[in-house]
Amino acid sequence: AETQAFELAVPTGINSTTGISGLTLGGGFGWITRKFGLTIDNLLCADVVTADGKLLRASQTENPDLFWALRGGGGNFGVVTAFEFKLHQVGPQVLSGLVVHPFADAQNVLREYRAALEAAPNELTCWVVMRQAPPLPFLPAEWHGKEVLVLAMCYCGDLQEGEKATQRLRAIGTPIADVVAPNPFTGWEQAFDPLLAPGARNYWKSHDFTELSDSAIEVITAGIPELPGPECEIFFAHVGGAAGRVTADATAFPQRSAHFVMNVHARWREPQMDRACIDWARGVYEAASPYAAGTAYVNFMPEDEVDRVEAAYGGNYRRLLEIKQRYDPLNLFRMNQNLRPVENLRAA
């Protein structure tokens, strides 16, 4: 909101309540990532209090190893007390909104969605949400509570060019509603806040996919008729563009090829639903595993996935461990997707 007063923005997440620190340290992607890169690609420097109590500046020229590790390595290396970011010209209006389809058409919609993205400009981001329809005012009442597939799109360039760029996606199938229109960028960043408000119980499972194969689409959509509650959902984020023009070893965040991030988001209120919701998320995750890339976005990984940390970082894992040994040899910062210091690994 503050930077939009000057028609500027930093690439952040998909809703306004995400904390900038955790978002950045895990990588950070959202509505303008395809145009301007990940949040970490726009980080210029950071002030960090390390495990020995020192206050360090991390940048390309000061403590560059620490700066490399902070950009995707999570909260493993210290307490970041300040970030400095590069800003970009965005807004104040973007072409954004939802196109809602009956879930019965989901597989066909996803195949056409996949094809449409092949020629999509970097200014355009379109994500998929599959869930039971909340009582949105633009949806007919008979669709409230029914399973739907939603295309959520944002074009961050010229509005007229955006109408052309979104045309193919908006022409898919026979939607129930299309409410894509010019909106304030600040408003679009807040559009999903009501669905992510504090107070619910949550469990997430996530995969990266280098492509959405027909087989992957089939097994993932099979999870929607089995939704255990009205707030549970599966969504896909499409990441690429500017984020993909950075080499895999330039930052700790390794997955730089154009790809889709799936998040199986179980969300519920009553403790007695814990087992059903967690089992559902794990079931969809396991069914999709044969088609996944093997990497994962650490900000989407739950606390019981300590065995996936190495795979999440791929070829960057060993270098991260060495930097961890240098800055936090006793593993003080361990309440995270933890990188255990090298000597501790050897001892184990």
Cα–Cα distance for residue pair 338/136, rounded to 1 Å: 40
Q: Are 188 and 97 members of one domain?
A: yes
**What's the chain's average pLDDT?**
95
Residue-number span of the structural domain to which 12 is assigned: 3-89
Q: Are 85 and 72 members of one domain?
A: yes
Residues 6+ apart with CB under 8 A from 201: 267, 268, 269, 271, 273, 274, 277
Establish if 327 belongs to a structural domain: no
Q: How many CA atoms lie within 13 A of 32 on its CB side?
A: 24
Per-residue pLDDT at 195 = 87
Q: Are 80 and 53 members of one domain?
A: yes
For 10, other C-beta atoms within 10 Å of its C-beta total 20
pTM attached to this predicted model: 0.94
Per-residue pLDDT at 342 = 75
Structure tokens at 147: 């399973």
Q: Domain ends where: 89, 122, 145?
A: 89
Establish if 309 belongs to a structural domain: no
Element (H, E) at 88: strand 88-89
Per-residue pLDDT at 348 = 43
pLDDT per position as a tens digit, 30-47: 999 999 999 999 999 999
Establish if 317 belongs to a structural domain: no
> Strand ranges (DSSP E) for 195-290?
201-209, 233-239, 259-268
Cα–Cα distance for residue pair 313/302, rounded to 1 Å: 16
Q: Are 50 and 137 members of one domain?
A: no
Contact assessment for residue 179 and residue 5, using Cβ atoms and an 8 Å cutoff: no
Cα–Cα distance for residue pair 95/181, rounded to 1 Å: 5
Contact assessment for residue 76 and residue 336, using Cβ atoms and an 8 Å cutoff: yes
Low-confidence ranges of the chain (pLDDT < 70): 343-348
Establish if 325 belongs to a structural domain: no
Residues making up the chain, counted from first to last: 348
Per-residue pLDDT at 343 = 63
Angle at alpha carbon of residue 76, lines to 72 and 79, rounded to 5°: 100
Q: Are 104 and 56 members of one domain?
A: no
Region label for 160, one of left (φ > 0), alpha (ψ between -120 and 50) or beta (otherwise): alpha
